Chains A and B, each alone.
Chain A
Amino acid sequence: MNKILEVTDLSVEFKKDKKPFFAVKNVSFSVEEGETIGLAGESGCGKSTLSRAILGIQKKGVTGKINHFSKRPMMVFQDPEGSLNPAKTIGFILEEPLKIKGGMTKEQRKAKVLEMLKLVDLSEDLLDRLPSTLSGGQCQRVCIAAALMQEPKLLIADEPVSALDVTVQSQILKLFEKIKKELKLSVIFISHDLRVIYSLCDRVMIMKDGEIVEQGDKETLYFHPQHEYTKQLMEAAKTKYVKKD
């Protein structure tokens, strides 16, 4: 298997009230081709900062090594409506990554947009519409299509289904399954929902206070957690979802 991403000793330091504070602390992991890694943790644990550092949006205070073995990774955000420019049509939004990349004729771009629309199960009628006229699920599909336009090898999804209704959520998760398989895509899937991560991912990392406290194969991690915090998380999920009499 080929490595897509290797992160070694990554730390992100913020200054908070003049005191240094590590949002991400000594994180090391790697992502292989076609693999889906789940990143779980509670709010404020540094999940989002970690992904921003990997993407290169966060540059300040970053130390350690991030090795990309592919073109730039792409991102899918939590709030589907907020990640689409309200002033632009869906067609424009989808074509934009190709225009920026360059080297394609208008017809080629159009063909690529239609191909992607088909992949994410959206109809061509949407091309002339504005994001505000789409449902949350449709918006998230557009975001996924736009992120895939430049054919990245790695996709980082930051809580992509948390803002969606339950039934829509399961459709988007199915879409992730599909694109993963068809495009041999590696995905870092960030979520606070341990059930979603279990259903989609191969490996799981548990993050707390900026550190990855445990990582490993999902079956091992879910059924034989080693770290105290992982145990606590699993216990909480059980209380929440398993009926006791």
Chain B
Amino acid sequence: MTGNNKVKLIIGLVLTGIVFLMLLFGIFYTPYDPMAMDASVSKSISLKHIMGCDQFGRDVFSRVLVGVKETMIVAGAVVLIGVFFGTVVGTLTGYFGGWIDEILMRLNDAVLAFPSVLLALLVIGLYGGGRNTLILALGIAFIPSFARIIRSEVLKIKNLDYIQSVRLFGAGHLRIIVVHILPNLKTVMLSSILIGFNNAVLAEAGMSYLGMGVAPPNPSLGRMLSEAQAYIFTNPMTAVFPGITIVIMILGFSLLSAATEKG
């Protein structure tokens, strides 16, 4: 690993470390009930409310902690769906080729050509809003890009001599795919998972900002941004802190993926 990559790795680890700390913290303890409104409290930053309070008097720090959790759950689940089905589709099409490839990749292209926000809107329109629908919608939208990456990698690997020689030993397709091809996808998967996670965080924030996704009054980073918009001049802190948290998340994961890419 070159020195440049090492720096990226360290900063990336620190930033994602902060995010994970917030996540853990948010699961077990928040200073205040993130949903409790208190009109009497001062909205500015104080020792009691280190990130201040929003227009309803809810503690922003508590809401950010829980928001991180919500965002991570959605992004994690979306990436999981995308990677799992993307790998299945990518391996099948790349390995077998022929009509399987034709059908699945055309389908893939169709989904890819469709803007993911529109697709998500469609799914949400069909099944109603809420976290689970959002995960499903974004998950489906994320499959094609993973499938493409995995497919091109499998195409490359399946023609290498070591796969040919295992085939000569008499190994079946399943064994060749699972034992011999999949382990070699590790590096490419890791970096695409990290990039995908970033995109998922942004997509979640975007969808929540638009009002689809996590239902109010539950906090999510995107929804907090959207709610704070109206008060941006009177109470800017309610927008700044969720924003900074998103930036830390994205930056951390992109640095990690950049550092692992050329390992």
Contact = CB atoms under 8 A, between A and B. Distances in A.
A57 B183 contact: no
Contact of B180 (A75, A82, A85): A85
A72 B162 contact: no
Given A87-B184, A88-B183, A100-B175, A57 B162 contact: no
Contact of A79 (B161, B168, B169, B179): B161
Contact of B168 (A55, A82, A85, A87): A55
Interface residues of B, number: 18
Nearest to A75: B168
Contact of B165 (A86, A88, A101, A143): A143
B186 to A, nearest CB: 7
Contacts of A85: 162-163, 166, 180, 183-184
B231 to A, nearest CB: 53
A212 interface: no
Contacts of B262: none
Given A57-B164, A83-B161, A101 B169 contact: yes
A90 to B, nearest CB: 12
B110 interface: no
B165 A83 contact: yes
A64 B180 CA distance: 33
A146 B184 contact: no
Contacts of A149: 169
A72 B186 CA distance: 32
Contacts of B179: 96
B160 A82 contact: yes
A127 to B, nearest CB: 17
A150 B165 contact: no
B165 A146 contact: yes
A100 B171 contact: yes
A84 B184 CA distance: 12
Interface string A70-105: 001011010100111111100000001100110000
Contacts of A100: 166, 169-171, 175
B86 to A, nearest CB: 20
A84 B169 contact: no
Contacts of A150: 169-170
A86 B166 contact: no
B164 A77 contact: yes
A65 to B, nearest CB: 20
A82 B161 contact: yes
A55 B226 CA distance: 64
A147 interface: yes
B162 to A, nearest CB: 5
Interface string B156-199: 00001111111111110001000110011010000000000000
26 contacts: A55-B168, A57-B167, A72-B168, A74-B165, A74-B168, A75-B164, A75-B165, A75-B168, A77-B165, A79-B161, A83-B161, A85-B162, A85-B163, A85-B180, A85-B183, A85-B184, A86-B184, A87-B184, A88-B183, A96-B166, A96-B171, A97-B169, A100-B175, A101-B169, A146-B165, A149-B169
Interface of A: 55, 57, 72, 74-75, 77, 79, 82-88, 96-97, 100-101, 143, 146-147, 149-150
